[in-house]
Amino acid sequence: METINLKYGSTKIPFEYDPARFEIVGNNSSAAPLTDVEIGKRLDDPIGSAPLEDIVKPGETVLFVVPDATRDVGAGQIVNLLVRRLIAAGVLPGDIAAIFATGIHRVVTEEEKRHILTPFIAQRIKILRHDASDPIRNFRVGETSGGIPVELDWAVTEYDHVVLIGGVTFHYFAGFTGGRKLICPGLASAKTTEATHMLAFDCDVKGRRDGVGTGISDGNAVHEAFMESAAFAKPAFCVSSITNDAGEVIELYSGDWRTSHRTACDAYAAAHTLRIPEKRPMVVASCGGFPHDINVIQAHKTLEAASHACLEGGTIVLLAECRDGLGRADFLDWFDPGTSEAVAERLCEKYQVNGQTAWNLLRIAQRHDVRIVTALDDATLSKMRMKKVSSINETLSHSTLTGYILPEGAKNSVRF
């Protein structure tokens, strides 16, 4: 028997397994983080762009767009270095601000602000708050080629230069995180967010639209709408990080917001696409701990990855603390119809972003026996067709099934 420590929230759960039965796919990434000097060298040599300090002139204003608490991308280290560079180039600290790309997520707490930006930066530059539901903060800047009204936070037009600071991982229908997603949906209105996300769902077939999926950019209608929407913010510079399992930056790409992010996505896909020879009847999957399992909406991404490695009718054991609960107060209401087919009908009658997540989760739960180690209560899980277990071994104690172990489910894409 061998033991692997699987992340759960801010802790780890040891799992003793038989290597003759279970194969580890995509082990923890423990690569050494880049030093400030190494990051500096990458910022000195941007892709398709001059360095940021050559773009911004003294007297001009800069807005850094950074992720919220659902992402851990090393933003504090990156912003710290960029702010120091700008100040050294003559830009005043009072002309620099940061805004959290919360999209329709909850607001960022004071503690999270300090964690994301570091206490040093959080105390020295202006911090702005986006609210997707506030009609005063968001106004129409144009529309996509498909006719979607693009409403963005006023801040993107009030500053001379908008700088995107994000991380790249897979996204189950937008292809990848980071880059353009910091603007749309990150700083978009709820209306624009809903309209762009709706492109992922095909009401003719009551399912995922062709060309939309994990790791797909070309021909992805959602990605293309995000790109068109983000262009209205005219980003001056973009930084995309790839992190290890501790949330530390291990690779970084900077420069033009389109080409540098695409380069980062290609590199990420090459390193994190997992090829398996066959699907198996059991998958044990950890989201990779906090913040990847902060709530059900985020943890669902790992369930999606695990489902691609599990035979239909097989068992998925998901480790997801969900300290913030569901992620949205109205999320559980989407399970009232009872089946994914009924949820699909409801989506086509009145689409909502989180309804699509509920549809996909329920679709997976109908096809697999989903067991979950979590802080959520039994009644909530039952409505979502998942069963709470106290430990991994509770499911495996009398089982002889073979399977896979996904230690970093949120960061990987599984291909069969």
Residue 415 confidence class, pLDDT cut points 50, 70, 90: confident
Same domain, 19 and 111: no
pLDDT at position 105 is 87
Pair 246, 330 in one domain: no
Residue 317 lies in a domain: yes
Residue with tokens 């021909």: 219
Q: How far apart are CA 380 and CA 393, in angstroms?
A: 22
Same-domain pairing of 232 and 330: no
247-254 mean pLDDT: 95
Note down the domain range covering 337.
2-25+276-415
- How far does Cα 320 stand from its chain's mean position? 15
Is 242 contained in some domain? yes
CA-based torsion, 132, 210, 285, 242: positive or negative: negative
Q: Verify that 215 and 355 share a domain, yes or no.
A: no
Residue 91 pLDDT > 90, yes or no? yes
| Chain segment 291-342, per-residue pLDDT in tens | 999 999 999 999 999 999 999 999 999 999 999 999 988 899 999 999 999 9
30 located within any domain: no
End-of-domain residue from the set 251, 271, 291: 271
Instruction: Report which of 395, 404, 331, 337 is spatially closest to residue 369, judged by C-alpha positions.
Output: 395
pLDDT band at 69 (very low <50, low <70, confident <90, very high): confident
* Mean pLDDT of the region 49-78: 94
Q: Which residue is it, tokens 């994000």?
A: 166
Percentage of the residues of the chain whose pLDDT score is greater than 70: 99
pLDDT mean over 41-54? 97
Q: What is the pLDDT of residues 175-186, one digit of tens each?
A: 999 999 999 999
> Are 123 and 255 members of one domain?
yes
Q: How many domains does the chain have?
A: 2
What is the spatial distance between Cα 258 and Cα 182, in angstroms, rounded to a whole number?
Answer: 13
Q: Find the range with the poorest average confidence among 302-311, 341-350, 396-405.
A: 396-405
Strands 235-243 and 249-255: antiparallel
Domain-embedded: residue 31: no
Domain boundary pick from 233, 252, 271: 271
Q: Give the three-class secondary structure for 139.
A: strand
Q: Are 311 and 403 in contact (CB under 8 A)?
A: no
Beta carbons of 383 and 367 less than 8 angstroms apart: no
Asked if residue 258 and residue 168 are part of one domain, the reply reads yes
Q: Which two tokens stand for residue 26?
A: 């995509």
- Please report whether residue 373 resides in a domain: yes
Same domain, 199 and 311: no
Mean pLDDT on 351-377: 95
